[in-house]
Chains A and B, each alone.
Chain A
Amino acid sequence: RKEVEQDPGPFNVPEGATVAFNCTYSNSASQSFFWYRQDCRKEPKLLMSVYSSGNEDGRFTAQLNRASQYISLLIRDSKLSDSATYLCVVNSGGSYIPTFGRGTSLIVHP
């Protein structure tokens, strides 16, 4: 079983839609979680960290469900510029090697 799994998509949504992605992880000792955004073949950039209590940044909301071992990213009022690949990253206690998901592709169309 892969350590971190994401639905590759693509998720194809109209502007203004709300879309959500999940990312499941297998190591229950995982300690820190992030969502990164990657535009086509460019470097990943941090979108947001994921805190235990959940956190929001404008149109973006991230949540952590430790019991079911997944994190989620919710995007409200999608914009054309949100089209990208969204990578989840999981760091486990005792390891200095982060585990990246393979990414979920989002396409927002007019």
Chain B
Amino acid sequence: EAQVTQNPRYLITVTGKKLTVTCSQNMNHEYMSWYRQDPGLGLRQIYYSMNVEVTDKGDVPEGYKVSRKEKRNFPLILESPSPNQTSLYFCASSLMDNRREQYFGPGTRLTVT
């Protein structure tokens, strides 16, 4: 089954404790991206990747890191999480770039206390 998976689905952590949210897709898509969704603000892109070893900032990259060492995986790293990073996070992938349909993972609900 074609899908995007994310782990963990729910995470409660404390300020400053490094964490990684994994994202994996099995559709051989080149384009992958991370979004955060906050009430009243809609989906905002954090980072995107056009292919292996090619990443770039989205609209709200501060406080986040990503890597793309393999085509299927695109982890999101929070080196020192802060409470303002409490949000619902979605990973997505697309065949070529953002101009095609994006397939979203199920989301990760992160709470930073």
Contacts and interface: CB of A to CB of B under 8 A. Distances in A.
Interface residues of A, number: 21
A100 B104 contact: no
A46 B56 contact: no
The number of chain B residues touching the other chain, given as a range, is: 20 to 34
B48 A31 contact: no
Contacts of B106: 42-43
A103 B39 CA distance: 11
A100 B44 CA distance: 7
Contacts of B56: 96
Nearest to B106: A43
A91 B42 contact: no
A101 B42 contact: yes
B27 to A, nearest CB: 14
Contacts of B100: 32
Contact of B42 (A32, A43, A103): A103
A43 B105 contact: yes
Given A43-B107, A44-B90, A96-B48, A32 B40 contact: no
B102 A102 contact: no
Interface in B99-113: 99-107, 109
A49 B101 contact: yes
Nearest to B59: A97
Among B50, B90, B98, B105, the most chain A Cβ lie within 10 Å of the Cβ of B98
A98 B98 contact: yes
Nearest to B42: A102
A23 B38 CA distance: 20
Contact of B98 (A45, A91, A103): A91
A41 interface: yes
B45 interface: yes
Interface of B: 31, 35, 40-45, 48, 50, 56, 58-59, 88, 90, 97-107, 109
8 contacts: A42-B107, A44-B43, A49-B101, A87-B43, A96-B48, A97-B45, A97-B48, A103-B42
Interchain residue pairs A-B with the least CB separation, the first 3? A43-B104, A102-B42, A100-B43
